[in-house]
Amino acid sequence: MRIVSHGVDIVESARIERIWKHHGDAFLSRIYTPAERQYCLDCRTPAVRLAGRFAAKEAVLKALGTGWRGRIAWTDVETLPDQLGRPCVRLDGETARLAARQGIDEFLISISHASGLAIASAIGVSRG
């Protein structure tokens, strides 16, 4: 395994909650996949989970060396837990093509929460 790139992002959970409360389902549908919405909203602290997934999306795009521009959609990056609870990334659309061009086979993700903040780290790795 070889590390190709790394990205990190931090976001205030309260900021995500304010945007969510102001824009409602339109915000959720634009940013999160249906599976992410279900996972985040099905808990006692949905804003905390939403913030973590938002930070993860940003971290992945930073690792790819781009931003949310052109043909990239927020929902092109999906982060959900595996059967052990570890966050896993699924790429679609332009983000999947960017990762393939850079030789990234997988992203290793870590998401943490403390003092009203969510932080995510994304490491792009090549298996070849």
In this prediction, residue 67 carries a pLDDT of 74
User: Which residue, chain included where needed, has tokens 């780290």?
Assistant: 121
pLDDT in tens, 62-116: 999 987 777 889 999 999 999 999 999 999 999 999 999 999 999 999 999 999 9
CB atoms closer than 10 angstroms to residue 50: 26
Rounded Cα distance, 95 and 86, in Å: 21
- Domains defined along the chain, listed by start: 2-126 (3.90.470.20)
pLDDT in tens, 31-66: 999 999 999 999 999 999 999 999 999 999 999 998
